[in-house]
Amino acid sequence: MRAVVCREWGGPESLSFEQVADPKLLAPGQVRIAVSAAGINFADTLMIQGKYQVRPEFPFSPGLEAAGTVIEAAPDVDTVAPGDRVMALLDHGGYAEQAVARASDVFRIPDGMEFETAAGFPIVYGTSHIALWERACLRPGETLVVHGAAGGVGLTAVEVGKAMGATVIATASSAEKLEVAASRGADHLINYKTEDIRTRVKELTGGAGADVIYDPVGGDTFDASLRCIAWGGRILIIGFAEGRIPQIPANILLVKNIATIGVHWGAYRQNQPHTVAESFATLFRWFEEGRIQPHISNRIPLADYAKAMKLLIERRSTGKVVLTMDAQDQD
Ligand SMILES: NC(=O)c1ccc[n+]([C@@H]2O[C@H](COP(=O)([O-])OP(=O)(O)OC[C@H]3O[C@@H](n4cnc5c(N)ncnc54)[C@H](OP(=O)(O)O)[C@@H]3O)[C@@H](O)[C@H]2O)c1
């Protein structure tokens, strides 16, 4: 099979595109999938540099999520069978024509969901839904600020926030990105290249501040969140795409009576798999009802993986970038 292979830490240019042996000899509980499409995540760009919390042994293929058809299941697996259309969460290995996953990380997808949509679905929607539902307990009528609102996780937080009945304020770095957030239901838009987040959030909330803030960006954006969160509000710490991990002065948490809440969605797979299953059931229902509409800015053939990863690194994507196994470049 063809696969993208990482043999040393570095950027996308340090990866190679190779013919490798198909994965064989499934261990108990494993499933082998013919991959039709693979989602690209910001974490992939960190993993290949050795900057992610997980550093796989060389050689490995990047890729934390994929969708396709089950071609083999270990004898003890009874949740999926050959021929099933599925999406899968992976420790790595999605940028390849076949992938092996734990059966507990493989989910049958709705009939109306294309593989490309499914490939980019689980991580971003799963993260935003569990963050807003299970961690922040977002309530209808509350005001939710989503930073980086046109990015992978950000755009899904806009949609999930709207589906849960919140008023959503989207922030992003350009008018084009904010238009994408508006297309998915954002009520108010803040361009953080040209506008001050604190001032605008205060204006839009009548001085009260936001009840919940969803932050995949970190750095200065997080610092601004501390200044425009409402009394009793909750800030969800999702990621640090901007690069700087912010420090939190404990006195501000006390004085403003606020909570900062870490979210490690991937760890739910081991610690609370029933929550992940319940979350996907809700998200699939919302998808079938048309309440969430996954946005893919770029579908790119597997061989052009470096170009695809650079779209995230250079902040040029919106929603998801997806690698396809057979499609022509539609960029
Ligand atoms: N906690 C979890 O369980 C979890 C799960 C998934 C992802 N994450 C994290 O969430 C973050 C976003 O992931 P993603 O896959 O959604 O990435 P993405 O699609 O690339 O989106 C990241 C967004 O961050 C903004 N950004 C600001 N400064 C940036 C910079 N220097 N480089 C790149 N982007 C920058 C960009 O929006 P603007 O241009 O509008 O600023 C971009 O749209 C990452 O840190 C990722 O590790 C965490």
User: SS3 for 253?
Assistant: helix
- In this structure, are 107 and 189 located in the same domain? no
20 and 108, same domain (yes or no)? yes
- The response to whether residue 122 sits with its C-beta less than 6 Å from ligand 1 reads no
**Tokens standing for 22?**
């198909």
Say what the pLDDT of residue 24 is.
82
Tell me, yes or no, if the pTM score tops 0.85. yes
49-96 pLDDT, tens digit per residue, is 999 989 999 999 999 999 999 999 999 999 999 999 999 999 999 999
> Looking at the DSSP assignment, which residues form a beta bridge with residue 14?
none
Tally of structural domains, the chain: 2
In a domain, 16, yes or no: yes
Per cent of the chain over pLDDT 70 is 98
Residue 281 in domain: no
In-domain check, residue 117: yes
- 210 with 149, same domain: the answer is yes
% of the chain residues with pLDDT over 90: 97
Integer Cα distance of 120 and 35 in angstroms: 13
Same structural domain for residues 317 and 235? no
Residue 180 and residue 166: Cα distance in Å, rounded?
18
102 with 165, same domain: the answer is no
* 307 domain residue, yes or no: yes
Does the Cβ of 214 fall within 6 Å of ligand 1?
Answer: no
Q: Is residue 100 domain-shared with residue 152, that is, in the same domain?
A: no
On the question of pLDDT at 29 being above 80, the answer is: yes
Q: Is 208 a domain residue? A: yes
What pLDDT, on the 0 to 100 scale, is given for residue 330? 46
Q: Looking at the domain assignment, is residue 284 inside a domain?
A: no
For ligand 1, atom 21: residue with the closest CA: 151
- Ligand 1 close to Cβ of residue 200 (< 6 A): no
| 97-120 per-position pLDDT tens digit | 999 999 999 999 999 999 999 999
Asked if residue 328 has pLDDT above 70, the reply is no
Ligand 1 within 6 A of 41 CB?
A: yes
For the chain, give the mean pLDDT: 97
Residues 18, 45 within the same domain: yes
274 domain residue, yes or no: no
| Domain-located, residue 289 | no
Residues 299 and 260 in one domain: no
Give the range of the structural domain holding residue 128, as residue numbers without chain letter.
Answer: 124-266
Instruction: Measure the CA–CA gap between 69 and 72, rounded to whole angstroms.
Output: 9
DSSP 135: I
CATH code: domain of residue 22: 3.90.180.10
